[in-house]
Structure formats: structure tokens, C-alpha cells
Structure 1
């Protein structure tokens, strides 16, 4: 199934460096504490993104990784920031090592591209992958006779490798590489100079290979290890720093699986207990231990009967915790480190101020703090709201997003990508005949694309995501980040959410048109009926793919959840079939 996608954005290196310089000055006058530490982590992440973008641009031009003053200057900045984060963390956030002026000046003096593409570091943005965990994991390296050679795998491995090198007290920044080729059979492409330097350093020391993952095949880790082994580096001197302790999945090669099972791997688990001190200024002192409600655990709190539980992909849910404290009960949800979290905080506050989403208390080093609304019930468990009122309120919410949360072009899948996904997923579940019915849209994409006005769509409009308060008000839960998730959809025209709401709330065609009119009134812009027609099979095909893939991933791990996911997929599949069987509305130019 086609479900996932990489999100990227273009930046101007000169502007990023100017911003980093200004914010480094601001950090210098911040008082010691978690706020300053979180700001340092945010700077590390952004410096790592910039290094990734510049070095990937150089790779694209030369078709290989090279060693040059540019490579060294790009990595010197995140390395200096990694040392600052290390010192701040080890001192309990009381002190840090400032970034030397010449580190920024040297990078600013390089011949940098006008624009580069930076990729979203998924672990920092979605999965609560803290650099501090790699500091903990890499503390074992200090027992080695000498600091290891550290190799980071771009993208996120750029900054994580700097953290590992800092933890090992390495005097030099890491090297970074961009494995390429088939996703399950990646290889390295290095310049002769890069290869000589890497192998010379690897001949005298252990080699720490750093990235998040491994994913479905582990081939990025495998590509680096294959290269080193093939050039005579003993397997016992290879040290791996992944984001989890799991084994490789079946897509991995036999060589990679065998090596991974025997490898020296270093990880550290996320400990939620420090969150209590992080948020105490917002919540007051906690009355008891923090309660994990991630991985679908929140369903225990709102659905008394397990038979009513909605299906969730528990491996992809953001970390969530409940805290019972002096000032009430609070939900802590991971919203992203650095700028990723700050953007989501701003969005959550706008929605709360408009009385469209739950109140927000603040953001503490990646975790959004919101009050848990006692007495609120998910829409399927509530009674008393008629459909006309529901469409009015949902329309007001979607119209607000369409008016206030405009998105830059390119932050979501193109219509062509959505059509490709829809056709592929439909063929997998209904056969090529049904998939072929989507081909009619291919010749219409240029005209349709002209109607798209991308916004930060909600993208998660299932009935249980709507909360009915005791006074009858309707709020949208979990409303800040699904347009910026690890899937291919991303930001779309608001018509995507109109279709999503219609599907998830069981609206018929006439009710969908009424909802679109409410959205138009609230946003000040008509919703394209042609986009509604196009998005519907795309939405259904995406949901089928998402639920089928999630069920497959959990089949052996959590059979009961996999069964729920398969039942959800079975709900979307006939809706997709019925749509493709129905006569199409004429496409008017």
C-alpha cells in the first residue's frame, strides 16, 4: 500500500544562519533551566537540518559524498551545539558551553547555495526521539581506549551523530553519508578522498554508526556496515546507535539480519517521569505517578466498553500522558522538539482561543500541555446533537482552518501523487478494473490543480476525535499536527477535510454539499465541487491503505488491535467500491 511520504521544505541558508546567530545571542541571556536547554536543542536540530540540506545539495551536484572545507564547516556548527546540549543536560540545565564565534563565521564564509531542501527529521517531529537519549546511550563510549570514528546517516543522523561524538568527547565532528539506491539495498557512493579518510580513521578506532530506525530493511545502517566490512574493518569494531532496540524486519537481507543480531547496539529508553518536573509550573505538584495513555491507552478513559474502541495504529501514535495535579488533570502530548513544537503550540492556541479546541497551558521541551476535559464525551458516546447542528459546527471549524491556516505550496502531496496512491491502493484491494476507473482524472489534474488552495488541513476527522462538552459545545481534539505527519497527504485544499468529515460522520451527498456551504461561509471562499469529487476516492483509498498496513504491522504483536484495524479497512473498502461504481458527476470546465 502507498501510505507514507517524506516531507521537505526549501530554505535559504543565509537566512537560516542569520536566524541561528540571533537566537544564539538570545540563548546567551536566558536564565538557566529547562527553557534554555530546550532552546539549545532546537538550535541543534535546525543546525543539523541546515547541514543536511547543504551536504545533500553538494551530493546531488557531485553524485557522491566528498570531504571539503564545506563539509567540515557544515558539521562544526551542530557539533558545537551538541557539546552545548551535552553540558546543559549533564549539569541539570544549569550551564552550557557557548558556541564559538568562529564556528558560525566560518560557515557563513562558505559558498553556500541560495536554496537547499531540508527534510523533516521524523524522530524529532513525531516520535519523541530526544537527542538526550543518544547522550545516555553513548555514555558507554567513554570506556573505549580512544574516541570512535562517528558516522551519521543523513538526514536526522547528522545531528544525532554530533551528539554521539560529543558524548564520546571526540575532538572532531563526525562524518556523514547519504546511502542511495533501492530502499532495501542501499549503498554508499564516496569520493576517493572521503573513502581514504574514512578508512584511515576506521583502521585505528571503533566506528559508531548513527541514525534513527532501523526501518523496514535496515539498509541504511547496513550500507555503512557493508562498506566498512568489505574494506577490512572487523565486525566487532562496529557500534550501532539506532532509536530502538528491535530486530530487523523481514525486508532486511540475510547478511544484515545476521550482523544486526550479533551487533553491539546502544539505545536508551524514554523515561516519562522527568515530565512531571518539566510541567510543574503549569500543572502544580502531581498527586501521583504519570499515566501513559499513548498507544491507544486513552481509550480506557473515554470508552468504558472495549467493544466500542476505535482502531488505532498504536506504533505511530504520539506519546501521551495524563497527570493528576494540584490544578486539575492534564494531558501531555508530544508535539515536536524545537520549531516543530513551537509551530504546533501556536496552532493549538489559535484553535483554543476560537473555542474550537481544548484549552492550552503551554509547551515544555516538546510536550504540549492541555487540560483534560472531565465530563467531555467523544461524539459516538454522546446523545442530543442533531445533524444540522453538527454540520454547522464542523463547517465553522473547517472554515476557520481554511481562513487562518494557509499553507505554502509543496507542503502536501500533489494531486498527481494522490491519484497514484489511490490507483495503487485500489488495485490492491479491488483489482485493476476498479483502479482503472480512476484514470479519467489523469487528464484533468492540471485544471484541478489550479483550484487547490492549500491549507493546514486537519486530516483526522473520525467521530471519536470530536468532543461534546457537558454544556453541549463541540470541540475538536488532536487538531494540530496531522497535516504534518509521516504520511504522504500533508496539506491539501479544505475540500479534503470536507470529504473526510462526510465519510467519518456518515454524511450523504446532500449533507456533504451543505457542509461545504458552511465551510465556504466561514472561510470566505467556495469549496470546489470538482475537488470534492476527486478527493473522495483518494481519501477512501488512503484510509484503506493506512488501516491494512497498520493491521499487517501489528498482526503478530497485538492481534486484537490488528483485528480492529482490519474491520476499519473493511468499512472503507465498500465505500470506495460504491463510489467507483456510481455514475460520475459531469466534470465542468
Structure 2
């Protein structure tokens, strides 16, 4: 099943350097948001290094002068964050070293453009770099290292390895550091290294070799392939350690190599709770008191009375969220803080959200701090599909028309990629015979698909709408146009399809609803059938994988129920082609 996409973007190298230079120019530690600026700087430096390194390392990982300068820039940014976080001290010399190194880099031969891979942990999964400082502290305390070689797995490992290296340097440890890109099939990754890097690893006698990554993922193969490469270069397992983001048993890794190697190596991890919650750091920064967490579906028991009405939730796919209250005794306002992304990613999501709030469609965003958007808690009833009425239809019409008119964006998924997703999910979810219906798509379908992309809502589920008094409010609206899932930015017909499917509108209501869009899109009726099929195929893929991965959990049964619903609806749509 296809449910994810590889989120990449191409950018001029000069533009990326200019972004970093602008952040370097914001060296004002007295600013209340200065730590967030420093985090943005570290992420942008990591993206520059990753893009340039990938450009020079198309066939194998190597080290050249350009890569070395980029590595030094990331290390300086890592040192700034380590000092700010651990000691509350701003290292102005390290900050200015970034500027000097950028000047050197600009004199070198560089690619005109680089490809940037989104650092998924920092953007989608609420992975905070500071947890790796906790892991490093534990490693230092236990192993007392004198020499280390830190290997970061690109993309996000670029930043993580720099931060780990900076921490180790602060205690006098000799640090060598580099980044590598695991290659090959996602379930069977391996490294291809040039002789200089191989010798660097071979000659690390007396060093601890640290492998830093945001994983492991479902397969475990990126870390497994890196362990195999290091092992083949005669580094013993008792001198190799892993810095992952979490500690699975390894028994369910798809990669056999990862399953075999995982438990042979020592691992160090930190936790968001230790670094941000238990020490009160997040509360102080938000200037509000944390009452309880509502992540991973925990919000359902708080806001929905009957468990039988709970929508299914995959806990790994929900953003971290907290209920907050004002610190002041005089004020008792309630707030929700939701993770929306670090750096520019969170800022872009909030900018879009504020436009929606100004029109009264969604809650306003009071602040963006440390990757969390803080919004006033809205009292209201969570909707069900059976709550559909003309007033809700009118609200959704106005909401989607506003997005259509004001949220223009660049399409991120080509027609060929979309068709491949549909074909794969139909084949795996319903059988190959149903794929024959897809032959009825024509070249016109392709041209209709690729027109007029917008930053859609992406979540038109009934439980993402509230009825408060005599009005409706859309929630869970901030980031789904830019999350890790397949659709990304799309034609507004994707959201229309979501509304039709999730609220189970009949044909008459669908036709009447589409009439509102014909004045700005004369092809909307032709376009909509394709998007109904695309949406259903995506959702079928998602709920199928979710049901399979949550076997034995109550939500598995809820997802299974949706799988049957989407299958039936998709068959009906395909039959009508």
C-alpha cells in the first residue's frame, strides 16, 4: 500500500545560504524567541550540508573540501544550541564562525541547486534535538569516552551528529564526525563508502563509533546497513553505539539484518518528557500551566462521551498535544498546544492557520513557541457523520471556497505518482481485477488533475468539526497539506472528496454542493470523480496498514470497519467510470 511520500524540494544553493546568513544576522539573545531562531539556524545549516553532500555523493559517500566546510558550519550551530540549552550561554564566537565559514563556502565551486529532504522528525513526529543531548550525557557518564567518531545518517542525522559532537567536544573528547546516506531498497539499505571514509573508520582504534539517526523505522534497515558497514571495517560491537530516537525490541523489523544486529549493540536515548515537561521548560516558555496530554488519541475520552463513537487513531500518527491553562489565578482560560513543526516548517503552517482563523473558520493561534502552536480551547460538540445538515454543508462550502481562492500552492505529487498510488492500493486492497477500471482514465484526466493546486485542509473527518452554539469550527486544520502522507498540496477536489466520503453525502447533495464551485472551476464536475477515487484509494491504503499494525488493539477493529466502508465506496466509484 502507498500512503507516504518522499517530501523533497529543490532550492538554489545561494538561496539556502542567504537564509542562513539572515538568521546569523539575528544574533540578539535578549529576544524571547532567540532559542527558536537558533534552532532554525541549526536546521537550515543541516539542510545546506545535506543538500551539498548529496550533490557530491551521488554514487558513494565521500569527503571533499566543500563537504568539510559544510560539516564545520553544522558543528558550530550544534555548539551554539548545546551551550544555550545546557548552560544558558550564547557563544557569539561560534555564531560568528558560521558567518566566516559561509564566506569561505561561497568562494568554492558549488552546485547551482540542491535537493533538500525534509527533516521528518523535526517536522512531522515531534522529535526534539535536545533529547540527543540527554542521550549524550548518559553516554559520557557511563563510557567516559576520550575519542569518538560520530556518524550521522542523512538527512536528519546531519543535525543530530553535529549536536552530539558538540556536546562531546565540550567535555574534552576528541571528535571526528561525518555523515552517510544509506542506499538501496527501503527494506535492505546499505552504505557505499569511498576509501577515505573507510580508512577513517578503520583507523578509529580506541574510538567509540556513534551512529545517530531519527529511526529506527519499520524496517530498521538504515541503521542495520550502517552497523554492517562499520562491522565490516573491523570496529568491534563493544565500541559501536547507537543513538536512536526510541528503543523497540527489534523483533518486528522487516529487515532480517536489522533484527540480527539490533540487540548486539548498546543504545542511548533521551526523552521529550525529561527535557521539556518534567523540568517545567515548556510551561515556562509557553507561560501557561500544562494540565494533561491529549496526544495519541487520548483526546477522545476527554471530549467524546461514548467509546462506541470514538474514531480510530493510530497513536504514531498524531501530533503531540497538551491541554493548558493560564498561570494567572484571575484567568482560567484553557488552551491547546499542538506540535506543528520546528523552524520554518512550523512558522509556515501557522501563517496559513492564521488566515483561516481571521475568517472565523478555525481557532486563532495565540503563539508559536518551541514548535507548538497554542490555540484557545473551543467548547463544543464533536460531530458525527449523522450530524450532517444544510447549515454544516453551507459552512464547509464557504470554508473550502476560501481555501480554493486564497491558498494557492505548488503541486507536490504528479499525476503519474497519483495514478501509481491508486493502482497499487486498488490492487492490494481489492484485487487486480478492479484495476481494469482504471484504464478508463484518459489524457484529459491527467491535465485536469494537474491544474490549480492549493494548500488543502487534508482532514475532512466528522470528528474534526465542532458545533459550538449556533456555529461550526474546523479543528485539526493546520498541517495536513504539508505532512508526511501521500497527498500533500492538491486540488480542492481532494477536500471535497473527503467531505463527500466521510459525511456520506448522497448523489443529490454532492451535485448541489459542486454547483458552488463551477463559477471558479468550470471543470470541477469532470475533475471530482477522479479525486473521489484517489481519496478512497489513499484512505483504503491508510486504514489497511493501520489495522494490520495495531492487531489486538481496539483501534484495529475500528480501522477494519473503515476498510470495509472504503472498499464498498471505492467499488461503487470504479463501477461508475
- The normalised TM-score by structure 2 is 0.93
User: SS where residue 22 of structure 1 aligns?
Assistant: helix
Distance 2:359 2:21 in 1: 35
Q: CA deviation at 1:390?
A: 2.0
**SS of aligned partner of 1:45:** helix
Q: Please tell me whether the aligned partners of residues 416 and 445 of structure 1 are also in contact (alpha carbons under 8 angstroms).
A: no
The residue that corresponds to 1:480 in the other structure is 478
Tell whether 2:171 aligns with 1:167.
no
Shift of the 329–519 alpha-carbon distance from structure 1 to 2, 3 Å rule, reads farther
User: Are the structure 2 counterparts of residues 446 and 567 from structure 1 closer, same or farther at C-alpha, using a change threshold of 3 Å?
Assistant: closer
Contact in 1 for aligned 2:123/2:342 (Cα 8 Å): yes
Tell me what 1:317 maps to.
Answer: 318
Separation of aligned partners in 2, 1:231 and 1:194? 10
- Alignment map for 1:76-87 (pairs within 5 Å): 76-87=72-83
> 1:72-111 counterparts in 2 under 5 A?
72-92=68-88, 97-100=94-97, 101-111=99-109
- Please state how far the C-alpha of 1:535 moved relative to its aligned partner: 1.1
| Structure 1 residues 81 and 578, CA gap change in structure 2 (3 angstroms) | same
Report the Cα distance in structure 2 between the residues aligned to 1:344 and 1:208, rounded to whole angstroms: 34
Aligned twin of 1:367: 372
- Structure 2 matches for 1:264-343, cutoff 5 A? 264-271=266-273, 272-273=276-277, 278=282, 285-286=288-289, 289-325=290-326, 326=328, 327=331, 328-343=333-348
Native 8 Å contact 2:80 2:90 kept in 1: no
Structure 2 residue runs without a partner (length 5+): none
CA distance in 2, matches of 1:99, 1:249: 47
1:263-296 deviations in Å (ceiling 9; x for gaps): 11111111152696545576x553xx53011000
Shift of the 318–93 alpha-carbon distance from structure 1 to 2, 3 Å rule, reads farther
How many Å apart are 1:454 and its aligned residue?
1.0
Q: 2:243 aligns with which of 241, 244, 247?
A: 241
SS at match of 1:548: helix
Q: Does 1:403 align with 2:400?
A: no
Q: Pick closer, same or farther for the CA change 1:249–1:120 going to 2, 3 Å.
A: farther
User: Which is worse superposed, 323-332 or 138-147?
Assistant: 138-147
Tell me how far apart the structure 2 counterparts of residues 44 and 277 of structure 1 sit (CA, whole Å).
20
Determine the C-alpha separation between the residues in 2 that align with 1:551 and 1:528: 33
Report the Cα distance in structure 2 between the residues aligned to 1:49 and 1:207, rounded to whole angstroms: 23
1:552 pairs, out of 544, 548, 555, with 548
Match of 2:393 among 388, 391, 394: 391
Aligned partners of 1:153, 1:98: CA distance in 2, in Å?
24
Gaps of 5+ in 1: 585-589
Q: Does 1:196 align with 2:202?
A: no
Contact 1:396 1:518 in 2 (8 A): no
Matches for 1:217-236 after TM superposition, within 5 Å: 217-236=219-238
Instruction: Compute the displacement of 1:402 (Å).
Output: 1.4
CA contact (8 A) 2:385 2:503 kept: no
In the alignment, what sits opposite 1:587?
A: none
Alignment of 1:102-181 (within 5 A): 102-142=100-140, 143-169=143-169, 174-181=177-184
Determine if contact 1:32/1:95 at 8 Å carries over to the other structure.
Answer: no
2:451 aligned with 1:448? no
Give the total of aligned pairs.
564
Counterparts of 2:69 and 2:316 in 1: how far apart (Å)?
37
Distance (Å, rounded) in 1 between the aligned partners of 2:147 and 2:187: 31
Aligned residues of 1:32 and 1:93 also touching (Cα < 8 A): no
Once residues 282 and 183 of structure 2 are traced to their aligned partners in structure 1, the CA distance between those partners, rounded to angstroms, is 40
CA contact (8 A) 1:406 1:454 kept: yes
Distance 1:285 1:423, change over 3 A: closer
1:15 and 2:18 matched = no
Secondary structure at the aligned position of 1:155 is classed as coil
User: Any idea what the Cα deviations from partners look like across 1:84-143, whole Å, max 9, x if unmatched?
Assistant: 000000124766642413222222222111111101111000111011011111113434
Distance (whole Å) between structure 2 residues aligned to residue 357 and residue 253 of structure 1: 43
